[in-house]
Structure 1
Amino acid sequence: MASSSKPKSIYDVFLNFRGTDLCNNFLGHLYKALNQNGIYTFIDREEMRKGDQISAALMKAIEQSCIAIIIFSEDYASSHWCLEEATKIMECKEQNDLTVLPVFYKVDPREVRGGKERYGKALAKHESKFGKDSEKVKRWKKALFNAGNLSWWHLNDGPSNN
């Protein structure tokens, strides 16, 4: 059930991404375009200060954003930080009406929501680390499934399989 009191927004957009996949290409162009159009965007490499507690600062930034853009890429699911952020984003969508815009960058949306191929392998590694019945991994799978079912953009070098 959605909460009637939405936290005060500081950021227009929160960008959730796997840095090793995107930092020097798509993400850089997106961040620049948002800033050039006066859209105040949280990106962890720009907004995090030395000494900030990473998880608390990121979770607070998600809560203080109007829109979250989740950029699913090939290696996204291998990062437990990305999965934690995605889970928080989807929780804020339900509780605070956060607008969530998924972008599938060189990855099929069915792979994300169904835990197939690279996403399946990454989630299996997390299960081996945290346990097959881990609540944490179950929350991550649910967040991926729910985010994968939202209206989205699919960016690929080749033809789309949708």
Structure 2
Amino acid sequence: MIRIGKFHKRVLYEEKERKTFRYPDSSRKTFTSHLNSALRRLDIKTYIDDNLERGDEISQALLKAIDEAKLFVIVFSKNYATSKWCLDEVVKILECRKNKRQIILPVFYEVDPFHVRHQLGSYAEAFVKHEQRFESTMNIVQKWRDALGEEANHSGWDCSINRTEAELVEEIAMDVLQKLNRVYVGDLDHQITKLEQLAQLQLQYYKSIDTYENQISHEATVQCITELKMKRSIRMLRLTREMLSYMEDSEAYEKLF
């Protein structure tokens, strides 16, 4: 399972009586949800905590998810540092990673990675407010700063590079798949299943109408299934074009890639 840090709502605090005002981050239901969908399409089990801001402490369910995760995708947005819960989460991730060595993959969405590492720009503004609020427990604020600096220092994805969001989401999802040392064959399995069903129907139908054309059609479907199964095996074994270069002159070579 991987843990995806979602865009959290910005939380503002007033002095004396604490009141919470929530302003939805517009990217939470776009980029992060699209990335989560892309990962699920690749059969990667993900966890996003939608109840992170309902209490003062990180929920037990989230702590369990952090402990069990193999990889963390942390999506840093402009308002990420305004949330105490987000900052607590990055600290917990680092504490857990010291023992389990999980993979951290930061994604910088509409924010400069340098600003995250060194708490500049909107991150500097957020920490001014945190220092005012947690004046008596500045060690907590320093832990947040250290955690942001360390996690943002990992090699990740800068979304400011010129590409469409759809392309970016797919590239990040494939990067996660590779880092988990997994291979996705769900697309091929779907094709194989459909063609096997077609082959059975053809066989039943052609028994009643036995012609040469029908036989050729059925054989073509069976041949296609065989090629897809071979392609699936090559993907599972992570065989490359170079490994199969001895087959370059064969008719089947191009169909395998």
Give the TM-score normalised by the residue count of structure 2.
0.52
Where does residue 122 of structure 1 map in the other structure?
126
| Dislocated runs of 4+, deviation >4 Å | none
Where does residue 176 of structure 2 map in the other structure?
none
Where does residue 16 of structure 1 map in the other structure?
5
Question: Contact 2:7 / 2:32 at 8 angstroms: preserved in 1?
Answer: no
Name the structure where helix makes up a greater proportion of residues.
2
Question: 1:72 Cα shift?
Answer: 0.3
Q: Which amino acid aligns with 1:16?
A: G
Where does residue 134 of structure 1 map in the other structure?
138
Unaligned runs of 5+ in 1: 1-11
Which is bigger in relative contact order (C-alpha 8 A, separation at least 6)?
Answer: 1
Calculate percent identity across the aligned residue pairs.
Answer: 38
Question: Take 1:128 and 1:16, find their aligned partners in 2: how far apart are those partners?
Answer: 26
Where does residue 27 of structure 1 map in the other structure?
32
Give the TM-score normalised by the residue count of structure 1.
0.81
Where does residue 69 of structure 2 map in the other structure?
65
The equivalences for 1:1-162 within 5 A come to 12-19=1-8, 20-21=24-25, 22-45=27-50, 54-131=58-135, 134-156=138-160
Question: Contact 1:106 / 1:157 at 8 angstroms: preserved in 2?
Answer: no
**Which structure is larger by alpha-carbon Rg, 1 or 2?**
2
Unaligned runs of 5+ in 2: 9-23, 164-257
* Paired residues, number: 144
Question: Contact 2:77 / 2:110 at 8 angstroms: preserved in 1?
Answer: yes
Question: Take 2:162 and 2:115, find their aligned partners in 1: how far apart are those partners?
Answer: 16
Question: Take 1:141 and 1:83, find their aligned partners in 2: how far apart are those partners?
Answer: 9
Q: CA RMSD in A?
A: 2.3
Question: Take 1:30 and 1:87, find their aligned partners in 2: how far apart are those partners?
Answer: 23
